[in-house]
Amino acid sequence: METTNNGVITALCQDIYNVQPFNSNATVLDNHINTVASDVKLGHIKIGTGFDMIDELVNVKIADNLSTDDSDTALSAKMGKELNESKASKNHASTEMTYGIGSDTSFGHVKLSDDYTSSSGAAMAGVGASSKAVCDAYNELNTNLDNLKSDVNTLKGKFGSQQIGIKSFRYLNFSGIFSCIITIDGVNGQSYGSFIANGYGIGSNRMHVAKLQAGSPVTCTILEDREAIYVSNQSGSESTISIFMLYGALPEFTTS
C-alpha cells in the first residue's frame, strides 16, 4: 500500500482482491484535495464575509430593514420591493406638496405662475415666475417708461426761462387760455418772487395774478391796456424769470 502526500492510502496488490474501485476513489479524493473549485471542477472554497454558518449550513446574511450599516449584509428582495414601491417615480409632478417644496431657505419642487401682478406667489409658497410672467413685466415696465419719457418731454415743452437785466422788465404776452407759475430768482437776497397767473390772453382782459411770496424789488402785475403781465425787478441785479405752464402755451417775452 502507498500513502499519498495528502494522507490517502491506496492498495497495490490486485492479486489479493479487486482494488481498482478504491484506487479510482482515492485518485479522485487526492485530486479533490489539491483542487480549488471552479465552474468545471469540484474543489474547495473559503467562506468569506457576508455569510453565516447555521447548523452546518452556509447562509447569506440578509436584512429585511434599513436599520443596519453592515456593508457585508445583503438587502432582501422583500425590502427592495418595499423601497421600489415607496420611492418617487421619475415623473412625479404633483398638485400636492408630497415631495417637498422649494422656498427661500430650502431646495425643492416649485410651480410656475404667469401672473406677475399677484403677491400670493411668495418664495415660501414654492411659486416661481414663468418666462411669460417675466416678459409681461418687462414689456409693462418698458411701456410705462416710454409713457413717462413722453410726459417728461411734454413737460419740458411747457417750461421756459428768460434772463432780465438790471432794473429791467418783461412783458409776458399769452395767447389763449393759460395757467402757470411764474418764478423770479436773482443774485440779490431780495430779488425773488413766486406768482400764480391764469386767464385768457386774446381779446378782452381776463387775466389774474396772485402773489405767493416775493421780495420788495420784485413785482408781477396785469397791464389792462396791453392784455399782458408785467414782471419787473428793481433791485439792480440780474434775475431769471422761470415759467412753468400748467395749461396752455408759453408766452412771448418782450420789452415793448
| Residue 218: Cβ within 10 Å count | 25
Within a domain: 94? no
Q: Quick check: is 39 in a domain?
A: no
Residue 199 lies in a domain: yes
Task: Report residue 140: phi and psi, to 5°.
Answer: -65, -40
User: Same domain, yes or no, for 124 and 184?
Assistant: no
> Which range, of 42-51, 65-74, 231-240, averages the lowest pLDDT?
42-51
How do residues 186-222 score in pLDDT, each as one tens digit? 776 777 899 999 998 765 568 899 999 988 888 898 8
Give the C-alpha separation, 242 to 161, whole Å.
4
Whether 20 and 76 map to the same domain: the answer is no
Indicate the DSSP class of residue 89. Answer: P
Does 213 reside within a domain?
yes
Which structural domain range is residue 58 located in?
Answer: 48-83
- pLDDT one-digit tens code per residue, 123-153: 788 888 899 989 999 999 999 998 888 887 7
Half-sphere exposure of 215 (CA within 13 A, CB side): 18
Query: Is 41 domain-assigned?
Result: no
Determine the residue type at 218.
V
The answer to whether residue 40 is domain-embedded is: no
Which residues fall within 8 angstroms of residue 109, CB to CB, at 6 or more apart? 94, 97, 99, 100, 101, 102, 126
pLDDT in tens, 150-195: 887 777 666 666 666 645 778 888 888 999 999 888 776 777 899 9
Candidates 103, 229, 106; CA nearest to 175 is 229
If one counts the domains in the chain, the total is: 4
